[in-house]
Amino acid sequence: MLFRKERKPWITITLSNIALCLYVFVGMRWEVLIYEKTLKGYLLALCSPLLHSGYFHLTGNLPFFIITGTLMETWLIKRVSLKTCLKLYFSPFLFTSVIFGIFGYLVVEAFSVGLSGVIIAQDSILIVYIFEHLVGEKLSKIDIIAILLVGLGFFGLFMWSYQIIQALPYMNEYKKREIVIHLVFGLLGFILGSAMRIIDKNSEI
């Protein structure tokens, strides 16, 4: 009953199924890694947020992506314009595909994969809007659920930060880069969310 009248998260459902199909029909990162710059390689780099390195990588990311993506499509879209919501939703995908996908493939002939960066960025965007909502409006049941779910998604960013404090001296360079990349996405989300909020407020004046 609580969600019956809510907008259905079709974008998130579609992207989740594409990620699943890529894993089943294209393969894992190690299976699709291409060292020669080809059109296929660039297309795979473009799809890098939806590719995963293994079963547990995929199943670990999809539930959190479904949570953050659904909140973007149901909770956030009621508080911003459709155009703003789509910009906020897809900006992390674009950043991942261009910077860590195509640019990485162009420079080092390899690219990072997975939805975790997108999840952290989307979660950070949601936090910007939820904090403002907490101050300015009366909370409904949906708002409370949204806050709890965003807190669950934010746990991932907290764990990446905690790993730096706990084990930085013992980490190899690959692990350090992996943590930094995830924290960059968290920062990106806060910047995007805050910037779009300022732009929206100025346009309302």
| Band of pLDDT at residue 16, cut at 50, 70 and 90 | very high
Average pLDDT over the chain reads 76
Please enumerate in sequence order all residues whose Cβ is within 8 A of that of 136, keeping only pairs 6 or more positions apart, or say none.
Answer: none
CA-to-CA distance for 156 and 183, rounded, in angstroms?
10
Q: Which is more confidently placed, 164 or 82?
A: 82
- Cβ neighbours of residue 200 closer than 8 Å, sequence gap 6 or more: 80, 81, 84
Name the pTM for this structure. Answer: 0.79
Report for 20-34, 54-68, 155-169, 182-196: range of highest mean pLDDT = 54-68
pLDDT digits 0-9 by tens, 18-29 = 999 988 887 765
pLDDT for 162 = 61
End-to-end CA, the chain: 37
Model confidence band, residue 147 (pLDDT cutoffs 50, 70, 90): low
Q: Confirm if 183 and 161 have CB atoms less than 8 A apart.
A: yes
pLDDT at site 171: 62
